[in-house]
Chain A
Amino acid sequence: MIFQIILLIMLAYVVGFIYMGLYRNITARIQGRYGPTVYQTFYDSIKLFSKKNSVSYGWMFYLGPVIMATGAVLTLILVPVFSDSDFLRSVTTQGNLFLLLYLMVLGPLGNALAVGTGGNPFGVMGVVRGLTRLIGLELPFYIAVVGLIIASNSSDIVHIIDLQKTTGLNILVHPFLFIAAMISMVGFFGASPFDIPGAPQEVYSGPRTEFSGKFLALLMSQGSIFAFAKLVLIIDLFLGGADSLWMLVIKTFAIFITIIFIGIVYGRYKVEQAVDFLMKIPTLIGVIGLVRIIWFG
């Protein structure tokens, strides 16, 4: 069991890094550049791990990235990556969708503690921007998730996946919810226009300002694992999950490329603009979907 989980984490790590590399590469291509190789993020990560030293402001600073990574890994093992694997199904039924919603925030909050300990006001500004943005960001996503839970009468992801085999994919059945969730996802990936927390022109790199060496490396690694987990969550909820590696890659890549394309063409919202926007259009779309489910479903 441990072996399987470690394998899963390795898979997420590799796929996540490649996706992150692709992200940079594709972005570069769209901008008319040659761009780095897809393995570039992997190089970055190894390089950071091999830094001679990394600053730390005490034990809480040390633990912050660890908590964040724990949150990401826990999220990963509670999302059914392969919908047909009995083992993963049994693990994922230990949790549910609500648990995931909170787990997804656990890491950032844990890291925020480390940022606070670091004592850099720019870092804390980043955190506060992030948390403020989260208010808006979570709203459409919550609406989508609640809609799905009510529509399938279960907060069990495996059950939601199974249900899509009979009723059809949720992306077709509940397109409004999908759109709302996708807009939130853009933000969860830190893509424009919702990338204000780490805006380098204003607050250094936001929460990550004081992190260096292995801590930064850990943050990057968990970021790619987490990104993978989020992608899997989206395909589980809306695209019926994946039963083979190929399906997994294709479906996640489809979602991923969408997010890249959205992210690349937009400028950056200020935090209040972001929340304002998220509270209006995606929320409205989500509510339409939700009302459709409750009153006409």
Chain B
Amino acid sequence: MNSIFLLLNLLPILFLYQFGGDLHVSLSLTKEFTLSLSQTPLGTFFAYLSLISFLLVTIAQKSKKTSFSYYALQFLLSIAMLAIVLAGDFITFFIGWEIMTWSSYFLISKSSDIDTKSLQKYILFSLASAFSLIAGMVIAYSFANSFDFNVIQNSFHTMPFNIKVALIVLFSLSFFTKAGVIGLHYWVVDTYSKAPDLFSSILSAVMSKMGIYGLFLVYGHLVGYAELKDMFGVILNGTDFGYVLGWIGVITSIIATFKAITQDEVKRLLAYSSIAQLGYIIAVIGMGTSFGVAGAMYHTLIHTIIKLLLFINVAAIVAQTGKNKFSELGGLIYRTPVSFVMLLIGIIALAGMPPLGGFASKFMLYNAAIDSKFALILVGMLFSGAASFLYCYKLVYGIYLGHPTSKDLETQKEVPISYLIPQVILALLLVATGAFPGAFIKVINPILIEFSLNTIPYTSMGVMQSAVGNFNGLFIISAFVVIFVFILLLIWRIKSKAKNNLNRFDISYCGEVPSKNTQLHYGYGFGTDLYRIKFVNAILKRSSSPFYEALATQTKKTAGLLSRMYYGNIHNTMIIILLFFSALYFIGVN
């Protein structure tokens, strides 16, 4: 079954490749509705991104017992996403969007530890997002008389100002919910952590990117960055709109980063990290400059790769050990060395460390902020980046380093090869993007042209060019490797004998001898310091859940109040009818 669906997943890629970037199909549903696919450079990028992700995840599913319906739904999901990114009008977009919503809902429900509350959270937020989208699209229709993107784009500037703002707000809300902007992220963490382990990678790596695609579509294509600038005016070197979005993104990423550090469940940490990383993208997506778009695109690519890698890695570990908490894992480094290296590459990129692709995308993001002179936003981004080192380290330490917290961890074997193949591919991609950061500029430039922005100069594969300095990824990575090897050889040559097979309990422990019962894994203690820092404590204490819980309670109360009306006896009904009639009569006559 796996191989069948592997081939099936290859089909859309081949199909897309066959059309060579110029796919325009349309099919009339009714006299008003047309289903149309229209390929743009932006859509093509996202299409390949999602399709290849699905392919890799399907490879990883090989060794996990997976039912036919799971595969079928996943395939349906990939087709729905293809429809979203290739859609030429809102109807197609929305149909794809909703099929994505419910097929992912059923996929999530296949997890063994899902509960009704999380499912409800997911679907309600998804539907709220969809309804916000539908509101936007019908309002746009009422002025453009068409759901076609190009028609809406052409008639957008003729709409009244308040309608323009309403449209931007509605679409933004919808896509923000999907991307999990803080405040609207209530569903994200539970869903990501409780979904089937491999499906979490799709959720985080691909599905959240559909929100980003939507934002690009609206800001870049439908509204247009020039129009945004005209509408909202200019602050510093950027737009007011970009400034607001910048703060939204930065606050999202700072809060989510701190929340991530304090999580005990591996997938919850990754979920918060996902929110934080998408915060970066949102921070620059509205800036309306070439670098803003390029940074957001680049980070989209890198984040997809990283999150696929990390979630597949974690899924493999969870499948292998049956544990998903930092306090229950640990010390797997020499049991599963390949997995460890893969995760290491992932977190180096996640932290934005230089030799790998993570830095290239961060650099683009920072350049975007510099370009618009949004200094404090840039500082915020850097700050959240610095805080993210903590959760990156927690991720690798909690699972692989330190001490095994239970006996069965000491006898684990390396995870199945099918989990490792996609990880190796993704890790190589991260190295490649790190070494050749400039190569991606070629992909971005057509999109910038599509958005009628200036293109970014391209010099060579290895060099990332920017207005305020550039960096040579190839040089950095080769210098790193050369120095590393040099120092390694040096230290290797030094005679001081390294005693390698040291027992893991043989540590400096104040002269004591720790035993198997001694709690030596520090996985649990991470982030407790943070609660004592006033500023961070203020963030960690707050949560969006009281608000939504209160909303749910109030809704229930209202429902209870209203339903009391329906439990009266027949006399009351009659009296109500008569009273209503007389009331209406007097109003009507007078």
A→B interface (CB under 8 Å): 49-58, 60, 62-63, 65-67, 69-70, 73-74, 77, 93-99, 101-103, 105-106, 109, 112-113, 116-122, 124-125, 127-129, 131-132, 134-136, 138-139, 142-143, 146-147, 149-150, 153-156, 159, 204, 209-210, 213-215, 218, 270-272, 275-276, 279, 287, 290, 293-294
Instruction: Find B525's partner among A57, A128, A136 (CB 8 Å cutoff).
Output: A128
Contact between chains at A121 and B520 (CB < 8 Å):
yes
Across-interface contacts of A102 in B (CB, < 8 A): 352-354, 359, 362
A139-B386 in contact (CB<8A): yes
* A128 and B354 contact, Cβ closer than 8 Å, known pairs A119-B520, A154-B468, A276-B533: no
* Nearest B-chain residue to A50, judged by Cβ: B496
Give every chain B residue within 8 A of A143 (Cβ-Cβ): 379
User: Does B390 belong to the interface (CB within 8 Å)?
Assistant: yes
Known: A62-B498, A124-B397, A128-B529. A153 touches B468 (CB 8 A): yes
Chain B residues within an 8 Å CB radius of A103: 354
B373 contacts A by Cβ under 8 Å = yes
A70 touches B484 (CB 8 A): yes
Alpha-carbon gap, A294 to B372, bound state (A): 11
Are B468 and A122 neighbours in the complex by a CB distance under 8 Å?
Answer: no
The verdict on A118 contacting B507 (CB below 8 Å), with A70-B487, A102-B352 known, is: yes
Contact yes or no, B522 A124, CB < 8 A: yes
- Chosen A-B contacts, 30 in total, with CB atoms closer than 8 Å, are A50-B496, A54-B497, A60-B401, A65-B491, A70-B483, A73-B483, A95-B475, A96-B468, A96-B471, A102-B352, A102-B354, A103-B354, A105-B353, A113-B401, A116-B401, A119-B520, A128-B390, A128-B526, A128-B529, A135-B536, A138-B386, A142-B386, A146-B370, A146-B379, A149-B370, A156-B469, A210-B507, A218-B491, A272-B533, A275-B533
B153 at the interface (CB under 8 A from A): no
Of all chain B residues, the one with the shortest Cβ separation from A108 is: B389
**Complex Cα gap A106–B402 (Å):** 20
Contact partner of A125 (CB less than 8 A), chosen from B366, B378, B480, B525, is B525
Considering the complex, which residues of chain B in the window 473-494 have a beta carbon less than 8 Å from any beta carbon of chain A? 475-476, 479-480, 483-484, 487-488, 491, 494
Contacts A73-B487, A116-B396, A214-B494 given; indicate if A58 touches B375 (C-beta within 8 A).
no
Residues of A within 8 A of B370 (CB): 146, 149-150, 155
Query: What residues on A are CB-neighbors of B506 within 8 Å?
Result: 55
Which residues of chain A have C-beta atoms less than 8 A from B333's C-beta?
58, 60, 117
| Contact of B529 with A272 in the complex, beta carbons under 8 Å | yes
Report the nearest A residue to B382, measured CB to CB. A142
Knowing A53-B499, A102-B359, A271-B529, say if A74 contacts B479 (CB, 8 Å): yes
Contacts of A131 in B (CB 8 A): 389-390, 393
Please indicate the chain B residues that have their CB under 8 angstroms from the CB of A120 in the complex.
507-509
Alpha-carbon gap, A270 to B534, bound state (A): 13
Q: Which residues on A sit within 8 Å (CB–CB) of B397?
A: 112, 116, 124
Which residue of A69, A105, A113 has the most chain B CB atoms within 10 A of its CB atom? A113
Chain A residues with Cβ under 8 A from B331's Cβ? Answer: 119
Tell me how many residues of B have a C-beta within 8 Å of chain A: 75
> Smallest Cβ distance from A248 to chain B, in angstroms?
22
Q: Please give, as numbers and ranges, the residues of chain B lying within 8 Å of A136 by CB-CB distance.
A: 533
A136 to B532, CA, bound (A): 13
Least CB distance from B335 to A in Å reads: 11
**Complex Cα distance A154/B375, Å?**
13
Question: A70-B487, A146-B375, A156-B468 known; A213 and B359 CB under 8 Å?
Answer: no
- Determine if A290 and B376 form an interchain contact, defined as CB atoms under 8 angstroms apart: yes
CB distance from B289 to the nearest CB of A (A): 15
Contact of A66 among B340, B479, B487, B520 (CB under 8 A): B487
Q: Are B382 and A101 in contact (CB under 8 A)?
A: yes
Q: How far is the CA of A99 from the CA of B362 in the complex (A)?
A: 10
Q: Is B250 an interface residue (CB 8 A)?
A: no
What are the 5 tightest A-B residue pairs by CB atom distance, in nearest-first order? A116-B401, A155-B469, A272-B532, A156-B469, A96-B469
Query: Is B502's CB under 8 angstroms from A150's CB?
Result: no
- By beta carbon, the residue of chain B nearest A159 is B469
Shortest distance from the beta carbon of A213 to any chain B beta carbon, whole Å: 4
A102–B361 CA distance with the chains assembled, in angstroms: 13
What's the least CB distance linking A2 to chain B, in Å? 9
Q: Are A119 and B525 in contact (CB under 8 A)?
A: no
Partner of B480, one of A49, A65, A70, A134: A70
CB distance from A16 to the nearest CB of B (A): 15
A98 near B366: Cβ-Cβ < 8 Å: yes
Whether A155 pairs with B379 at a CB distance below 8 angstroms is: no
Check B344 for interface membership: any CB of A closer than 8 A: yes
CB distance from A72 to the nearest CB of B (A): 9
Contact B520 A98 (CB under 8 A): no
With a cutoff of 8 Å between Cβ atoms, the chain B residues found around residue A106 in the complex are 353-354
Whether A135 touches B487, Cβ cut-off 8 Å, given contacts A95-B476, A98-B363, A272-B532, is: no
Complex CA gap A210/B370 in Å reads 42
User: What is the CA–CA distance of A272 and B476 in the complex, to the nearest angstrom?
Assistant: 35
Q: A55-B502, A56-B500 are in contact. Are A122 and B508 (CB under 8 A)?
A: yes
Contact between A146 and B502 (Cβ–Cβ < 8 Å)? no
Query: B530 contacts the other chain (Cβ, under 8 Å)?
Result: yes
- Residue from B470, B491, B499, B536 with most neighbouring chain A CB atoms (10 Å): B491
Instruction: Among B470, B494, B521, point to the contact of A96 (Cβ < 8 A).
Output: B470
Asked whether any CB of chain A lies closer than 8 Å to the CB of B117, the reply is no
How many angstroms from the CA of A118 to the CA of B509 in the assembled complex?
12
Complex partner residue of B498 from A55, A74, A109, CB under 8 angstroms = A55
Q: Which residues of A contact B403 (CB under 8 A)?
A: 119
